[in-house]
Amino acid sequence: MTTPSPAMRRYRIERYLTEGGMGAIYLGKKLGAVGFERPVVLKQLLPEFTTRPEFRDLFFREARISASLDHVNIVRTYDLVRSDDTLFIVMEYVPGTDLRTISWRARRKRRPLSTAAVLFVAQEILMGLAYMHGKADPHGQSLGIIHRDVSPSNILCSVQGEVKLSDFGIAKATAFASVFYKVRGKVGYMSPEQARSEVIDARSDLFSVAVCVFETFLGSRLFVGDLQTPPEEVYSRELPSLSQLTADIPPELDQVFARALAPDPDSRFQSALEFFQTLRNVTQRYGIGYSTKDLANELNSLLGPDPEKWAHDETVSGDTQKLDLNSAPGQRAQLGKEANPVSSSGYPVPLFPE
């Protein structure tokens, strides 16, 4: 049996969660003196990619970009460790689930999230993006970080009401230019210019945020297609009026999202801070401000007090809830308990496609 490296002995893998793209995800613990333990998420570069320099490079760059970010609205990266030929990124574990799952559960229960809650989530993510987009090196030079994959599955809400942006697997920084960053985000969430493989900037992330928020209000997908669908077809849908869906949505939001979802980047909000301030002004004018405690209370009421159960819908058959571990290649890290279905960021997988 292979002896773990000194670095890897600082961590213990508790259970397999899921895998996707280049990585397998595990729930683990950081170990310290006198019985100290802290839950963490470990992202392993899959064995079939560890021998390919281009993918190792992409994995290292993901770790460097995410580790450079320290903000309450961004999932933190703590460490990059090697055990023999295996690489792990060690990340913050936040008990909760993603916005995609929350929206699904809310629809199943016919209890949509309140307007105040949705706008609070949006503002929190925009604050994280404002920090990320403005991140500079020690000399004051902008790092030019763009997330490129903002989607409901990467927006995490904790049981304490925290909101965090996760998964920087295809994030791009100016200093880390690579041909492999031509990997595209999710169809229907990436901006029209990103779908056309054009040069993008921070405004592309803002379009993605707007799609996530609009869909949460709408209760269904806004832009639908696949990688073979022409962008002009995907983004041709006329925006429905949010304020006509329910009296709880201020009419002013129709104009806000018409601007946020404009096809032309020059017609959108030009920064995350500008978008944030616009939404904050709306919440103040209509008296629908929210706090982390308010969000925690609403999620607790909707999903229950135990975040481990937030992904599970009692109306769905047990077979849907099971994850087939037998299909996983054999050279994964040593596993413990049977996995529960969770997303690639360590959060429960929703039971509907994105």
| 272-325 confidence digits (pLDDT tens) | 999 999 999 999 999 999 999 999 999 999 999 988 888 765 543 333 232 222
Q: Give the pLDDT of residue 184.
A: 62
* Amino acid in the structure at residue 113: L
Query: pLDDT digits over 127-176, tens only?
Result: 999 999 999 988 988 989 999 999 998 999 999 999 999 887 666 665 44
Please give the residue that has the higher pLDDT: either 270 or 339.
270
Q: How far apart are CA 42 and CA 17, in angstroms?
A: 10
Please give the residue that has the higher pLDDT: either 54 or 320.
54
353: three-class secondary structure by DSSP: coil
Supply the pTM of this predicted model. 0.82
Q: Give the pLDDT of residue 168.
A: 75
Q: How far apart are CA 322 and CA 290, in angstroms?
A: 36
Q: How far apart are CA 125 and CA 154, in angstroms?
A: 10
331: three-class secondary structure by DSSP: coil
Q: Give the pLDDT of residue 313.
A: 56
105 pLDDT higher than 50: yes
Q: How far apart are CA 347 and CA 273, in angstroms?
A: 28
Q: How far apart are CA 285 and CA 115, in angstroms?
A: 14
Residue 42 contacts residue 92 (beta carbons within 8 Å): no
149 belongs to the catalytic site: yes
Q: How far apart are CA 270 and CA 315, in angstroms?
A: 43
Residue 17 pLDDT class (50, 70, 90 cuts)? confident
- What b/e string do you get for 196-231 counting C-beta neighbours within 10 Å, with b at 16 or more? eeeebebbbbbbbbbbbbbbbbbeeebbebeeeeeb
Q: Give the pLDDT of residue 78.
A: 93
Residue 60 pLDDT class (50, 70, 90 cuts)? confident
344 pLDDT higher than 90: no
Residue 83 has phi, psi (to 5 degrees) of -125, 105
| Residue 264, C-beta contacts closer than 8 angstroms, at least 6 positions apart | none
List the structure tokens of 38: 């802290």
* Amino acid in the structure at residue 120: F
| Residue 50, C-beta contacts closer than 8 angstroms, at least 6 positions apart | 56, 85, 86, 87
Report helix angle 115-133 to 292-303, nearest 10. 130
- Name the one residue in this structure whose structure tokens are 């992409």: 58
CA distances from 270 to 25, 74, 204, 259 (A): 35, 21, 10, 10
Candidates 84, 85, 137, 149; catalytic one: 149
High-pLDDT (> 90) share of the chain, %: 52
Residue 41 contacts residue 30 (beta carbons within 8 Å): no
Q: Which domains does the chain have, with CATH numbers?
A: 8-93+319-327 (3.30.200.20), 96-303 (1.10.510.10)
Q: Give the pLDDT of residue 234.
A: 92
> Which runs of consecutive H residues, i.e. helices, occur in the chain?
47-50, 53-67, 99-109, 115-133, 192-195, 202-218, 231-234, 252-260, 272-285, 292-303, 318-321
183 pLDDT higher than 60: no
